[in-house]
Amino acid sequence: MPAASMPPAPTSAGDPISEFFASLAAPGYIETFAGESATLRFDVSSGSKMQHWYLTISDGHVTVTRDNDPADAIVKIERPHLEDIVRGRLNAQAAMLRQVLAVEGSMAALMMFQRCLPGPRGSTGRVAPISSQTVMAQRRPM
């Protein structure tokens, strides 16, 4: 089973957030964003410190800057949570429901952005078959 067509997960060396955004910008074009255009600004807070990443998606072409400019979607999040998200430890939609990730502006832009996030590390897409005998043993008879 082939891996999903997405950028490689960042390595743990260095800052995972910087590496994640760098990995988005490096190829210049990301297939999963084909036909899509939006701007997203990530306001990442760590104590009193605030960092910005500004993502421009233009028909699949991706650029990343550190600008603090207006964007279609402004994503507010604390650093540890975003680290978890880019490492596949926290699901972005769940993070939003849990209120550790807040969005101002276009929800659709955030939804689209989520396509490039990695899945959980241990997920293989595979599972061992289960025999009819096992199923019958687990289930009560008729």
Query: How far is the first Cα of the chain from the last one, in angstroms, to the nearest whole number?
Result: 38
Our finding on whether 96 is near another protein (CB under 8 A) is yes
CB contact at 8 A, 33 and 62? yes
Residue type, 122: G
Q: From CA 77, how far away is CA 74, in angstroms rounded?
A: 10
**Residues between 101 and 130 that touch another protein (CB under 8 A):** 101-104, 107-108, 111-112, 114-120, 122-127, 129-130
Task: Give 17 or 116: the residue with its C-beta nearer to another protein.
Answer: 116
Task: Give 35 or 47: the residue with its C-beta nearer to another protein.
Answer: 35
Task: Give 52 or 76: the residue with its C-beta nearer to another protein.
Answer: 76
Q: Least distance (Å) from another protein to the CB of residue 97?
A: 4
Considering all CA atoms of the chain, what is the largest pairwise distance in Å, rounded to the nearest integer? 65
- Using the structure block, give the residue that is written with the tokens 């760098």: 22
The residue range among 20-28, 37-45, 63-71, 131-139 that interacts with another protein, by the rule CB under 8 A, is 131-139
Q: From CA 78, how far away is CA 100, in angstroms rounded?
A: 7
DSSP secondary structure code for residue 4 in this structure: P
Task: Give 14 or 119: the residue with its C-beta nearer to another protein.
Answer: 119
For helices 16-25 and 79-86, the axis angle rounded to 10 degrees is 50
The residue range among 40-48, 51-59, 62-70, 91-99 that interacts with another protein, by the rule CB under 8 A, is 91-99
In the complex, which residues of this chain contact another protein (CB under 8 A)? 1-6, 32, 34-35, 76, 90-91, 93-94, 96-104, 107-108, 111-112, 114-120, 122-127, 129-136, 139, 142
